[in-house]
Amino acid sequence: MKVRVSSFAVSIDGFGAGPDQSLEHPLGVGGPAMFEWFFRTRTWQQMHGHERGETGVDDDVAARAMEGVGAWILGRNMFGPVRGPWPDESWKGWWGDEPPYHVPVFVLTHHPRPPLPMAGGTEFRFVTDGIHSALAQATEAAGDKDVRLGGGVATVRQYLRAGLIDELRLAMAPVLLGTGEPLLHGIDLTALGYECTERIAGERATHVVLRRRSPPEGSQ
């Protein structure tokens, strides 16, 4: 079992999301440009009920990212644009009645909410006691499969700083955002035990694999 981030899009200037995320701009202003490589793949198209889409290296990477996942962890911003205490239970995510996860999804939040079962096997479970609790619950739910950390940027940074991610697969998109949410700024990956182990040239993105080879400095 691994804790992994897969196919996480990053701009050339290091941003994992654009600025001013909102209902109208869930990926931030300019953010969708980073995901063009993914949106065009057959994997993404089939997830949304279409048969079209491009095959090739990018599609192979996208398909592998969905394999072997027994549970997901998402930050609250990835689940939706609602802030503060939940006003009601009407918001059920960006994905409609049948989200693409099909396994338990643990959502980090400061505000309690009952579990939310959805069509297709997805169940959103809301965790209020931090990243370690979410990981413990996701690990138990995943069994012998992997836990995939879906983001957003702040959530990935928290798990990276804690040395809890075994494998980080980035899709480096050939776009510049200029501003937004930086993924790795101020994080010493070398001190945390990560190294680049693989680079794959896709049609629309370059895929880079970082793996944790040693425990973080100062750990027991």
Question: Which among 4, 30, 11, 3 has a CA at the least distance from the CA of 184?
Answer: 11
The two three-digit tokens of residue 137, written as one number: 């619950």
Q: φ, ψ for residue 74 (rounded to 5)?
A: -130, 145
The pLDDT value given to residue 74:
97
The two three-digit tokens of residue 21, written as one number: 């995320």
Average per-residue pLDDT in the chain? 93
Q: Where are the domains of the chain?
A: 3-82+98-176
Fold of 3-82+98-176: Dihydrofolate Reductase, subunit A (3.40.430)
What are the pLDDT digits (tens) for 79-124?
998 889 999 999 999 888 999 899 999 999 999 999 999 999 999 9
Query: Are the C-beta atoms of residues 192 and 163 closer than 8 Å to each other?
Result: yes
Average pLDDT of the segment spanning 161-187:
96
**Model's pTM, two decimal places?**
0.91
Give the sheet arrangement for strand 116-117, strand by strand: 116-117, 123-127, 104-108, 69-75, 146-151, 3-11, 167-173, 206-212, 194-201
Eight-class DSSP state of 48: T
What are the pLDDT digits (tens) for 121-142?
999 999 999 999 999 999 999 9
What are the pLDDT digits (tens) for 26-47?
888 999 999 999 999 999 888 8
